[in-house]
Amino acid sequence: MFACQRGYCPSPICQEYSADDFVCGASEDDYDVDCGETMPCDFTKSYDTLADLANVMDTMDMYCINYYSINVLGRMLDDAMVDYNSVVAGDYDKKFNDYVDYIKDTIPLQLRQFLLGSNSTVSRGNKYFECAFGTGPRQACPIDTNFYTGRVTVTYYLVDADCFYADLAATYGIQKEWVEFGEYDETQCRGTVVGDEQCTIYYGFPLKSSNVTVDNPKDIITKALPGIRSLNTTIALTQLEINAGTWTGVLDDVIQTISKAVFLVQQAIDSMKSVVKIADDYEDEKEKRLVETILGVVLLVLPFVGELDYFTESMVVLGRMLPLATDVGLVGTTIYSVVEDPSLAPLTILTALMGGARTPETFSTTAAARRKMTDEDIEALGPVFKNNNMNYQSVAGQCRKELSA
């Protein structure tokens, strides 16, 4: 119960006591800070993992457990950054280029789907055009050519350009400058058409232009790196304040906050390792997994971007990325909701920490955001995040047991 009477409450257990309890002789513990005795913490000790700490915490005061937990989190962050440096030391940039190439390759397919898809909801792009069969007059699109034989032609005329480009961008993330209009034909039109065979050649059809520039997700990850590295400074300075006895906040709030930031980094780097494995296989399903994993990394590191202008800019870029990966389906999923929601932990915690704020009030706010997270939110952030959080709770839960006893 170190200095609770002076407003310094190092763990929630202090909340069970009033200022009158802190006089010499009032404590039933083996030590009494109010009689000039010292806390039974050896600040030179350290533990490598939360599991190591959990194995010995029954012999420690809660204050010491909280302090050692911060040290463990610092080690975990150091290890994660070693992993990061190892991952990017290879040909990791090529994996992002694979992502960009894959997204570019999907554009023609999405344009065809927007006009020629069998589902009328998907192929709603037709409502922005008028069509002419052969040399005939214009009429509503699409034109069913299945009743004809031989080589036939359909010409598309764009009549509502503004709505066409707006819908295309909202649905697929395809920008106006990425589209040009020209001839498209099915493969069977490229040979001789005989007998009852039929093929259709489309003119004025939207095609991928040569002016396609896809946002590279690596740019967001690069912007997030300074924020990730600044966590080391936050941890070190907080430890200095604790050692000096100048920290006046609740240590559990500090650990709740920092642990989630560290676990987020570990999950992101684990996902980056997966990118390396997936990118070695170019099968379509593997390519989709590559896109999903890369965008998952971006979502995880996005809160580390820091300054509001950078974050807003990155959100705009991410907003363009996600529709391009429509088959991946990250939009609307829990991970997207957890990261995007400012009331939930990742964004709240990292926005505060990246701004250099380390006040008790800030940690209280960010810890409250962390405690608001549901099991589903935690599950959505990934298996590494979930497992580390479970290990942390085995340590933090000990204090809760004592409080309820």
Q: Flag whether 253 is in a domain.
A: yes
Same domain, 312 and 378: yes
Position 98, amino acid: D
The answer to whether residues 281 and 329 touch, using CB atoms and an 8 Å cutoff, is no
pLDDT of residue 130: 96
pLDDT of residue 355: 52
User: How many residues make up the chain in this entry?
Assistant: 405
Same domain, 69 and 114: no
Q: Is the pLDDT of residue 404 over 50?
A: no
pLDDT one-digit tens code per residue, 99-111:
888 888 889 999 9
Q: For residues 229 and 322, give the distance between their C-alpha atoms in angstroms, rounded to a whole number.
A: 27
Same domain, 190 and 264: no
Last residue within a domain, chosen from 208, 229, 250: 208
Please choose, from the candidates 142, 113, 139, the residue with its C-alpha nearest in 3D space to the C-alpha of residue 126: 142
Main-chain phi, psi angles of 147, to 5 degrees: -90, 0
The answer to whether residues 88 and 274 touch, using CB atoms and an 8 Å cutoff, is no
Q: Is the pLDDT of residue 171 over 50?
A: yes
The domain tally of the chain equals 3
Q: Flag whether 101 is in a domain.
A: no
Q: For residue 133, give the 3-state DSSP assignment.
A: strand
Mean pLDDT over 250-254 rounds to 84
Least confident of 22-36, 92-106, 136-150: 22-36
Same domain, 185 and 235: no
Same domain, 268 and 127: no
Q: Is the pLDDT of residue 9 over 70?
A: no
Last residue within a domain, chosen from 208, 232, 259: 208
- Burial zone of 176 (CB within 10 Å; 0-12 exposed, 13-18 middle, 19+ buried): middle
Q: Flag whether 103 is in a domain.
A: no
Q: Which of the 8 DSSP states describes residue 147?
A: T
Same domain, 224 and 364: yes
Residue with tokens 């397919």: 109
pLDDT one-digit tens code per residue, 206-226:
999 999 988 888 888 887 888
The answer to whether residues 369 and 352 touch, using CB atoms and an 8 Å cutoff, is no
The model's confidence at residue 51, banded by pLDDT at 50, 70 and 90, is confident
Most confident of 168-177, 184-193, 360-369: 168-177
Q: Is the pLDDT of residue 41 over 80?
A: no
Q: For residue 238, give the 3-state DSSP assignment.
A: helix
CA–CA–CA angle 373, 374, 379 (5° rounding): 100
Q: For residue 258, give the 3-state DSSP assignment.
A: helix
Q: For residues 68 and 57, give the distance between their C-alpha atoms in angstroms, rounded to a whole number.
A: 10
Q: For residue 156, give the 3-state DSSP assignment.
A: strand
Same domain, 227 and 305: yes
Same domain, 204 and 307: no
Q: How many angstroms separate the Cα of 341 from the Cα of each of 224, 303, 361, 370? A: 18, 11, 21, 12
Q: Flag whether 100 is in a domain.
A: no
The model's confidence at residue 15, banded by pLDDT at 50, 70 and 90, is very low
Main-chain phi, psi angles of 206, to 5 degrees: -70, 125
pLDDT one-digit tens code per residue, 272-312:
877 766 655 555 566 777 777 787 777 777 767 765 555 66
Same domain, 240 and 341: yes
Q: For residues 183 and 154, give the distance between their C-alpha atoms in angstroms, rounded to a whole number.
A: 10
Whether the bond into 342 is cis, omega within 30 of 0: no
Same domain, 183 and 310: no
Which structure tokens are listed for 307? Answer: 């300054």
Same domain, 318 and 390: yes
Q: Flag whether 96 is in a domain.
A: no
Contacts of the segment 88-95: beta carbons below 8 A, 24+ positions apart? 88/272, 90/276, 92/272, 92/275, 92/276, 93/218, 94/279, 95/275, 95/276, 95/279, 95/290, 95/294
Model pTM greater than 0.85? no
SS (H, E, C) 57-96: HHHCCHHHHHHHHHHHHHHHHHHHHHHHHHHHCCCHHHHH
Q: Which domain holds residue 25?
A: 1-10+17-40
Same domain, 136 and 119: yes
| Percent of residues, the chain, with pLDDT higher than 70 | 69
pLDDT of residue 284: 59
- Per the model's pLDDT, the better-predicted residue between 180 and 350 turns out to be 180
Q: Flag whether 102 is in a domain.
A: no
Q: For residue 48, give the 3-state DSSP assignment.
A: coil
Count CA within 13 A, CB hemisphere, residue 248: 6
